[in-house]
Structure 1
Amino acid sequence: MKIRRFGVRSFFASVGFLSVLACCIIAGGKLSWGNFIFQFHKLVGEATRTPHLSFEDILITIKTSRKNHEGRINLLLDTWLKPALPQVYLITDELDNVTQEKTGDHLIGTSCGSTYHRDHLCCKTGAEFDVFFAKNQKWWCHFDDDNYVNTARLVALLDNFNSRESFYVGKRSRYPGEYMDYKGHPYVFGTGGAGYCISCVLAQLMAPKVSEGSFVKTCQESNAADDCSIGYIVNYLLKLPLTESQLMHSSPYYGPETPEIYKEDLPEQVSFHHGINLGLFKNETFEPLFNKTEDPTGFYSLHCILHPEDKICSSI
């Protein structure tokens, strides 16, 4: 059976390659190399898709800063991050011994700078891409150090898509009808504040614009922030869509109108932002399990709703 399965895949790969090559010849060579690769991987992907995704197929990177290690990173380690750590890498501007001991080799230092200057943030995002390219996973997902990630639902979300095709999954940053603009040409992007995910095939198409330090130059070229520049590459340059997810949530103060979510629907959501207890949900007031002094972000309360068995929830 294994020999037969390999033969079928090889057959479809060959047919896919020849089909796309034929289309390129018929089109008089007008099919770009990027589109050639995209179409080829799409055909092969349809023939060879793995039926079920696991968390081990996803690489998560978190952009952070030395000044946030003690507060934000410790909060994440107390809640969702620690059990997920084998698949997560933290990209920072300066290492410290305490956080490095807690995270092992999953804390990666850079010389990117520690401010919110565009070049510093884009430098870190480029470093995130380089980690992904080195690890050879099916999916790369970016989150910020003020995100809570429901990893089980992240796997379920991405299992709807084929990593061997080009997918860019996230929350659209602006209202329908509103776009970012590059020299009069509109494009959309997924807000980094909610997190976004990119398939391995799409990441390879993006590589010339994002890897080995090139992403800073791309951000300067687009004259936009790091998450906007991801949309600039995918939606404007590659002409590929953002696959919008209503399960990924950014700050309640930014982006399109916040969704109506009931408390019982919390386990179905993929990501949350600091301030979950400050108005993210309109239909039902979020009732913290800890007081605001103990839990100003709402993450401990959220974590204990999703994982009441965790030892930090035993005192409730």
Structure 2
Amino acid sequence: MRVANPYYVYYLWSKEVLIKRCSGSRGGRSMFDRYLRTIQLCMTGMVCVVVAVLLTYDWSPESSSVFVHSDILMAEFSEDLSSTIDKVNNLGKVVNSSRDAPQMDGKLVESTSTKSSKILSIPLEKAPIKINGKPLEKVNVNYIHNIYFSVKSCSRNYKTRVFTSMLTWFQVLDKDELAIISDNSSAVKPYTDIVRRSGFNLIISSCKDDHSRYGLCCKTGIEFSSYYKALEKHNDNKDRYQWYCHVDDDEYVNVPQLSHVLQQYDPSKPYYIGKFPWNLRRKFSENPYIRVDDDARVRIKQRNLTMMANHYQYATGASYCLSYALMMKGKDFFNGIEELTSTCELAGNTDDIAIGFIIEVILGYNLTDTEYMFNQYDELDDFSIEQISKFLTVSFYVKKGKTIHAVPLQYNIPGDRSRFMAYHCLLYPSVSWCPR
């Protein structure tokens, strides 16, 4: 026995009811037909509107990615940055198309505006940026603001290093006293937006993200040129940037203490202040110098330069400071990618060694070896709290998942792998997120 479809039965019943209601007037069935015709016209009109909308929408890959992910981006940046950073990184890889990436032409390049950056600007303006659950909090400290800092970094270190520095020692500086030099990577566009929205000067370069001689010297040349450009902007204030200090992104700078030490030297005279590398200090304990080899002598002669010394020292590339006078004397060797890479070729070494080579061998000025300017290879376990508070710089590195040679403090701050937050709290205990 065939079972009737209930929906079809309902349709027939409704039809008969409607016909009966219309039968009271002449031409009841024709009135029913007019009802059906009206409904058909309405349905046809709605279909036409939907088709028109679909035909006019831009279904390119970029626009479809933004359409899908815009609500996710809006929601995530209202949360804690540390809990959503990986998701945003993955979204950045989807949203940023290759045609939006700056061209690698060997010059300084700035990231171009994309649809994703427009989306990100909305939640970043509404929600405070947090790192490891902690807001960026300005620290007001009395010191002489005459130092220009450049921080060499790379795109892969934003999350692990740059953001921690933004939370800690960057907050001691005025924003125009600092430049962050990095490489170009469209995959981390959300990260670069966060740095810039925080007010810091991020310079995106075309330099490679590696530790080759050219890659390191390329970024160092941009670091130096950023200092000379900053001087031009403040040429009406002769005391503004009397010192240039280079810092790697795995260093924490005790800014007031460094300022105090630099006040002991006259910036109108050539000073090269830093720390000779620990490994060479041990290797050459009796005579800690590097001899100028024959190849370097030939290159010096070819450049018609005068060799002022047969041996030299250099400050480790983790951090060092040069006085205004020395920056002016070395400008022809330091200012820009072409100049600095040529300097590295002249010295036959990477950036930090080449700087020492130019200053001591060509210009004839000596390194001022400074205590407490520590790098990642210095062991810090035997220092007292009083000594630790007077460090100029501290650093760390990670080996097999374990943090090595970090500042020896016992503050238990979640996410503080580098111990920079603990050190920041030692120096500035009034910061709101420090342990009480």
Over 3 Å counting, the alpha-carbon distance change for 1:278 and 1:70 in structure 2 is closer
The Cα offsets for residues 109-128 of structure 1, whole Å up to 9 and x where unpaired, read as 11111111111111111111
Distance 2:267 2:346 in 1: 28
State the SS of the aligned residue for 2:206.
coil
Paired residues of 1:55 and 1:151 also in contact (CA < 8 A): no
Equivalent AA in structure 2 for residue 154 of structure 1: L
Partner of 2:116: none
Q: Which residue of 2 aligns with 1:179?
A: 289
CA shift, 1:240, in A, is 0.7
Structure 1 contact 126–210 (Cα < 8 Å) conserved: yes
One-letter code of the match for 1:204?
M
Partners of 1:179 and 1:312 lie apart in 2 by 45
Contact 1:219 1:225 in 2 (8 A): yes
Conservation of the 8 A alpha-carbon contact between 2:406 and 2:418:
no
Q: In the alignment, what sits opposite 1:245?
A: 370
- What residue number does 1:47 align with? none
CA distance in 2, matches of 1:226, 1:102: 29
Name the structure 1 match of 2:431.
310
> TM-score when scaled to structure 2?
0.55
How far is the alpha carbon of 1:236 from its aligned partner?
1.1
Amino acid at match of 1:107: L
Correspondence 1:101 to 2:192: no
Q: For residues 415 and 336 of structure 2, what CA distance do their matches in structure 1 show?
A: 41
Q: Deviations over 1:168-214 (max 9, x none)?
A: 00011131423233316321001012x10000110111111111321
After superposition, the C-alpha distances for 1:39-84 in whole angstroms (9 at most, x for unaligned) are xxxxxxxxxxxxxx95421100000111111221110011111231
- Looking at structure 2, the residues matched to 297 and 259 of structure 1 have their Cα atoms a distance apart, in angstroms, of 15
Task: Go from structure 1 to structure 2 and tell me whether the alpha carbon gap of 1:181 and 1:88 turns closer, same or farther (over 3 Å shift).
Answer: same
Q: Which residue of 2 aligns with 1:160?
A: 264
Q: 1:85–1:180: structure 2 CA closer, same or farther, 3 Å change rule?
A: farther
The aligned counterpart of 1:207 is: 331
| Gap change, CA 1:179 and 1:102, over 3 Å in 2 | same
The equivalent of 1:189 in structure 2 is: 314
Which of 228, 235, 242 aligns to 1:138? It is 242
Q: How many residues align?
A: 253
The residue identity in structure 1 corresponding to 2:255 is T
Equivalences for 1:63-78 in 2 at 5 Å?
A: 63-78=152-167
Which one has the largest radius of gyration?
2
Q: How far apart are the structure 1 equivalents of 2:332 and 2:180?
A: 23
Distance 1:138 1:265, change over 3 A: same
What's the CA shift for 1:233?
0.6
Aligned to 1:234, what secondary structure does the other structure show? Answer: helix
The CA distance in 1 between the partners of 2:207 and 2:290, in whole Å, is 26
Match of 1:90 in 2: 180
CA deviation after TM superposition for structure 1 residue 275, in Å: 4.9
- AA aligned to 2:264 is N
Deviation by residue 1:80-125 (Cα, 9 ceiling, x = unmatched): 1123142111111126222221234x11111111111111111111
CA distance in 2, matches of 1:309, 1:250: 27
1:258 and 1:181 map into 2 onto residues whose CA distance is 30
Structure 1-normalised TM-score? 0.74
Amino acid at match of 2:328: Q
Instruction: State the distance in 2 between where 1:73 and 1:85 align.
Output: 17
Q: Tell me, in whole angstroms, the C-alpha distance in 1 between the residues paired with 2:222 and 2:406.
A: 31
Given that 1:150 and 1:269 are in contact with CA atoms closer than 8 Å, whether structure 2 keeps it comes out as yes
SS in 2 for 1:103: coil
Give secondary structure in 1 for the equivalent of 2:247: strand
Matches of 1:224 and 1:61, distance apart in 2: 21
Match of 2:238 in 1: none
User: Displacement, 1:234?
Assistant: 0.6
Structure 1 moving runs of 4+ over 4 Å: 257-260
Structure 1 unaligned spans of 5+: 1-52
Identity of aligned residues (%): 25
Contact in 2 for aligned 1:274/1:299 (Cα 8 Å): no
Q: 1:268 to 1:287 in 2, by over 3 A?
A: closer
Map residues 1-316 of structure 1 onto 2, 5 A cutoff: 54-86=143-175, 87-94=177-184, 96-104=192-200, 106-136=201-231, 137-173=241-277, 174-175=280-281, 176=285, 177-183=287-293, 185-193=310-318, 195-213=319-337, 214-252=339-377, 261-275=383-397, 278-279=404-405, 286-290=408-412, 294-314=415-435, 316=436
RMSD of aligned residue pairs (Cα, Å):
2.3
1:313 counterpart SS class: coil
Gaps of 5+ in 2: 1-141, 232-240, 295-309
